[in-house]
Amino acid sequence: MNNLFLSIPTTLDQEIFEDLFKNDTVRIERILSKGHCSGENDWYDQDENEWVVVLKGAGTVVFADDRQVQLNEGDYLNIPAHTKHRVLWTDPDVVTVWLAIFYP
């Protein structure tokens, strides 16, 4: 058995991306952030759809059309494939735990 909240460092020099499960069609990833964000021109433009939830902490996702979505604990979002987006902000005071599911 594993736990999403184990092995979370209190300080993070960089974001941590960890594949929890992966097969030919689905990938489940845990992301740990603490004050990290995407670069101003570092847009994600993925071939897969992405369903993402904030389990702990908070973050803001911004889309290429300037729409911003604030995600707090328990909030989730579905991002269709090839929808350009980036992380604008994550809480600098606590580790934000994201769970992302990538699917066709």
Q: Indicate if the pLDDT at residue 99 is higher than 90.
A: yes
Q: Is 8 part of any domain? A: no
Is position 13 within any domain? no
pLDDT in tens, 9-67: 988 999 999 999 999 999 999 999 999 999 999 999 999 999 999 999 999 999 999 99
So what's the pLDDT on residue 10? Answer: 84
Residues 83 and 43: beta-carbon distance below 8 Å: no
Assess if residue 3 is contained within a domain.
no
Q: Is residue 52, in this structure, part of any structural domain at all? A: yes
The answer on pLDDT for 85 being more than 90 is yes
- Domain span holding position 91: 22-103
Please name the residues in contact with 69: beta carbons below 8 A apart, sequence gap of 6 or more: 60, 61, 62, 63, 77
Cβ atoms of 51 and 101 within 8 Å: the answer is: yes
Count: domains in the chain = 1
Q: Tens digits of per-residue pLDDT, 4-21?
A: 999 999 889 999 999 999
